[in-house]
Amino acid sequence: MNDWTKKAIFYHIYPLGFCGCEQYHQDTITPRIHKLKDWIPHFKKLHINALYLGPVFESFEHGYDTSDYRTLDHRLGTNKDFIDVCDALHGNGIRIVLDGVFNHVGRNFWAFKDVQQRKEASPYCNWFSNLNFNCPSPMGDSFTYDTWQGHYNLVKLNLYNEEVIQYLLDCVNFWIDTFAIDGLRLDAADCIPFSFFQRLRQFRKQKKEDFWLMGEIIHGDYNRWANNEMLDSVTNYECYKGLYSSHNTKNYFEIAYSFNRQFGNDGIYKNLTLYNFVDNHDVNRLASTLNDKNDLFNTYTMLYTMPGIPSIYYGSEMGIEGMKKNGSDAALRPCIELDKQIQNTKLTKHIEKLGLFKQSLPVLSFGDYQQVYLTNEQFVFSRTYLQQHFYAAFNTSEYDVEIHFTCKEKTLLNLWDDTIYNPENDTLTLSIPSKSSLLLINDKHSDVQKTTNQNNTKPSQITSIPIGLYEHFKGKQYRVLHIAKHSETEEAYVVYQQMYGNKEIWIRPLSMFIETIDKNGEKIPRFKYIGE
């Protein structure tokens, strides 16, 4: 249903900060949202294929105090400006997920203003949670109301009211029809009744089957929110903390415990595709959180190689810093100009390579997880998908180390530098430099460069190819859906669908699919990979 998220690499932007907007609402419309189009080459260089955009609709201040769900914030431009931006992003293969702020609205929200004007006579009194006309609010109203965490500028909606539910669903319908968005991140999901998410799920089923629903959850059992009746995914705050803390304390047992608990053989979230991150608009930047900035590289490598969806918060790929100050999040949400903020080219290049690995290796999107080796300062885990076996080995020590662990592979390739490793007597010996990682794959021609049969590789050596669109040498296009395995011979087969006519589904041995043929004296692939 939402398989696209398994191969997604997200880039998270807080638009009001990213675009350098004024702190408060402006009557003047300024089309700053077009800045996103200027960054598309940067997104593609990082292999980004999905954007999560923080609040974009009309608000008085920070976006989470919505005034109008159907109008782009004047500080960002008009709806037409946003349509142009969405069209450009989609045209470059980048999906769009918006912030769905449905727990509360701002005091300038039209229905709340009607209550302020007409008091008990307003037809919208029941739109808000626990409205009480027997007690004044701290904001000077003649009534009080429920808020989000005591912030009276954030008025809690009554999500048990059918009129409110239908209004919000109509807004989502408008966003899909107008901007063709691909999903929602549900703000403050832990404050929203399950019944609302169930209605949203039903709406999604009827409107857009692959529309993604992800909730902001900080504590608790993620299965309560992400399941077959409600959301598809949630924010993985447990691993967010473990990813930086295990490096700061030189204690890989912390993150290894979380990985096992979540994704191991008996992992409680093994069937979920969680949204993973190392910083965002609410928490300090990773470069400010780590005690040693040399740990940035291993932290991001873990983010990209662990099960789930990696997400980069804008600018952090450049190593920028930012911390909350005096209760303000402003330092976490700066305006960044791409040509002025390249503060760590080495880190950016590192993340570019990680994006290539994530996009090219099916094992990093679909592979099972297993812990292989663990000490305080060294950690190895594996991912396995079909016949593709991947190992991620980390060393957070100040010193180079040599480790040994059981490995039954015949040959392994280090993706960073193409070094070949040959385990002896089912034991692999690795020398890992200080503050670095090794990423090993059992098939050195495993489509990291998105090729099918190059470098004189024998067809029998290929065990997997990228899922996506292929062009037959005669010109017609087909979409590879799955790589299947014969139940008796274990031979790999390609399941693919023609993209013309009645879109029939076909199957043929992988060894035949990746063959080269002779066309006018030139060797060319029978099927050429052309993208997702």
Q: Give the model confidence (pLDDT) of 93-145 as tens digits.
A: 999 999 999 999 999 999 999 999 999 999 999 999 999 999 999 999 999 99
Q: How confident is the model at residue 519 (pLDDT cuts 50, 70, 90)?
A: confident
Question: How high is the mean pLDDT of the chain?
Answer: 92
Asked whether the beta carbons of 451 and 529 are under 8 A apart, the reply is yes
Q: Give the pLDDT of residue 491.
A: 79
Assigned architecture for domain 366-441: Sandwich (2.60)
Asked whether the beta carbons of 400 and 432 are under 8 A apart, the reply is yes
CATH 2.60.40.1180 location in the chain: 366-441
pTM, entire model: 0.84
Average pLDDT over residues 147-160: 97
Q: How confident is the model at residue 2 (pLDDT cuts 50, 70, 90)?
A: low
Alpha carbon 156 to its chain's center: 28
Rounded to whole angstroms, the Cα distance separating 155 from 146 reads 6
Average pLDDT over residues 497-519: 85
Burial 217-227 (b: 16+ CB within 10 A, else e): beeeebeebbe
Rounded to whole angstroms, the Cα distance separating 295 from 229 reads 39
On the question of pLDDT at 1 being above 60, the answer is no
Q: Give the pLDDT of residue 245.
A: 98
Q: What is the CATH number of domain 459-531?
A: 2.30.30.320
Question: DSSP string covering 427-461, please?
Answer: EEEEEE-TTEEEEEES-TTSSTTS-SS-TT--GGG
Do the strands 50-53 and 57-59 form a parallel or antiparallel pair, or are they unpaired?
Answer: unpaired
Strand ranges across the sheet with 275-277: 233-234, 212-215, 183-186, 95-100, 50-53, 10-13, 309-313, 275-277
CATH 2.30.30.320 location in the chain: 459-531
Give the residue among 4, 154, 150 at the shortest CA–CA distance from 65: 154
Average pLDDT over residues 172-184: 98
């039903």: which residue's tokens?
202
Give the residue among 238, 245, 242, 202 at the shortest CA–CA distance from 223: 238
Q: Give the model confidence (pLDDT) of 203-231 as tens digits.
A: 999 999 999 999 999 999 999 999 999 99
Burial 204-215 (b: 16+ CB within 10 A, else e): beeebeebbbbb
Q: Give the model confidence (pLDDT) of 304-318 as tens digits.
A: 999 999 999 999 999
